């Protein structure tokens, strides 16, 4: 006896129509093949040994009965078994019959082979030599940065201190809802603004000034989920004081629900490891890099919790490519 649940996924139509529809061996085989994997009409045509128009006609009849689903991807139509179709006792029996037919003619075994052929063109394309090693263009980099940024816990505001020509905006703008780019050079800030416009970054605010300026520092204090300062510390007359000012820009920790406290904003300072290259003073460097213990002390004195200093890969070119690079990282604790 048929129960109400056996036909919940099928259109209300006379049962004899379903029996008639499933009395055709080609449709039985088609049903079994798409139950194995989602297939294009062209792939079904090859597996069934039928012309594409015939495969399409049979598929359309099964679709009208609610037994299969079809979706378009460009010019291709992909066919799959409808969700819940196999709950119907008649359809379930038809699937078993179709599977037996496909096992006998070998088409069921060929499904995996047919699906794998979709990648053949790609394998041939990538197997051809393309010349030198490629590089990510800025426009190609942006989606990857945004994908990695989804792992970050807090992404409301980032402050780029000493943005220069805005190179770091390619990383920060796709990752944060709002970026504040600060620089005391109007010319540099113009270049950063031009970069942002060329990348169509609409979430960057530009501030002409310095966090040594009390008005600027007060305006931005406590706002940032991330404060990033790249290669500015070695230019500072008083680096320890600069780290304190940077830390004050970080969002303070807050108590959460259930007594759980949220962490404060993060501070990242990228700078050189200690070196002896006096020629770097010609680049306006006040300090010849820093020892990790110096950076750690700066951070603790500024209220940064559990600071760490990590070594960074050296750039492949530029006047500072021969120097060791490092980053001081931590979060505001109070």
Cβ(303)–Cβ(243) under 8 Å? no
Which candidate, 281, 294, 291, 262, places its Cα nearest to that of 320? Answer: 281
Beta carbons of 181 and 192 less than 8 angstroms apart? yes
Nearest one of 160, 167, 173 to 200, comparing CA atoms = 173
Give the predicted TM-score (pTM) of the model: 0.72
Q: Provide φ and ψ at 255, rounded to 5°.
A: -70, 135
Greater pLDDT, 169 or 8? 169
Share of the chain above pLDDT 90, in %: 69
Rounded distance, CA 195 to CA 318, Å? 20
* Residue range 24-49, pLDDT digits in tens: 999 999 999 999 999 999 999 999 99
pLDDT over 80 at 87, yes or no: yes
120-159: pLDDT as tens digits: 877 887 787 766 666 677 778 888 888 988 888 889 999 9
Cα angle 8, 9, 11 (rounded to 5 degrees) comes to 90
- Give the helix/strand (H/E) hosting 9: none
Q: Does the structure show a pLDDT above 70 at 110? A: yes
**What's phi and psi for 286, nearest 5 deg?**
-85, -35
pLDDT per residue as tens digits for the range 194-237: 999 999 999 999 999 999 888 888 999 999 999 999 999 999 99
All structural domains of the chain: 4-126 (1.10.10.10), 138-332 (3.40.50.150)
The angle at the Cα of 55, spanning 49 to 60, to the nearest 5 degrees, equals: 160
User: Is the pLDDT reported for residue 3 higher than 60?
Assistant: no
């Amino acid at each position: 006896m048929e129960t109400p649940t056996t036909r919940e996924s099928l259109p209300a139509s006379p049962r004899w129509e379903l029996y008639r529809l499933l009395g055709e061996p080609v449709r039985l085989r088609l049903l079994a093949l798409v139950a194995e994997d989602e297939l294009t009409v062209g792939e079904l045509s090859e597996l069934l040994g039928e012309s594409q128009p015939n495969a399409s006609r049979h598929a359309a009849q099964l679709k009208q009965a609610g037994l299969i689903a079809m979706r378009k991807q460009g010019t291709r139509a992909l066919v799959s078994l409808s969700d819940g179709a196999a709950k119907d006792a008649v359809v379930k029996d038809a699937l078993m019959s179709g599977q037996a037919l496909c096992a006998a003619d070998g088409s069921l075994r060929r499904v995996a082979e047919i699906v794998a052929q979709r990648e053949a063109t790609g394998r041939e394309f990538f197997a051809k030599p393309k010349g030198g090693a490629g590089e990510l263009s800025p426009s190609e980099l942006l989606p990857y940065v945004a994908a990695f940024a989804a792992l970050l816990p807090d992404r409301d505001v980032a402050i780029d201190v000493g943005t220069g020509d805005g190179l770091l905006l390619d990383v920060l703008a796709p990752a944060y809802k709002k970026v504040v780019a600060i620089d005391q050079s109007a010319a540099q800030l113009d270049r950063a603004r031009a970069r942002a416009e060329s990348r169509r970054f609409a979430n960057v605010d530009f501030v002409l000034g310095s966090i040594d300026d009390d008005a600027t520092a007060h305006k931005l204090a406590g706002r940032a989920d991330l404060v990033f300062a790249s290669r500015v510390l070695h230019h500072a007359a008083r680096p320890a004081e600069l780290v304190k000012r940077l830390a004050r820009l970080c969002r303070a920790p807050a108590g959460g629900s259930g007594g759980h406290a949220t962490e404060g904003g993060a501070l990242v300072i990228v700078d050189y490891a200690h070196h002896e290259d006096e020629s770097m003073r010609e680049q306006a460097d006040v300090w010849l890099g820093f020892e990790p213990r110096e950076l750690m002390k700066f951070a603790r004195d500024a209220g940064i919790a559990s600071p760490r200093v990590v070594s960074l890969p050296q750039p492949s070119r530029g006047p500072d490519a021969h120097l060791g690079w490092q980053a001081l990282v931590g979060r505001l604790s109070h």
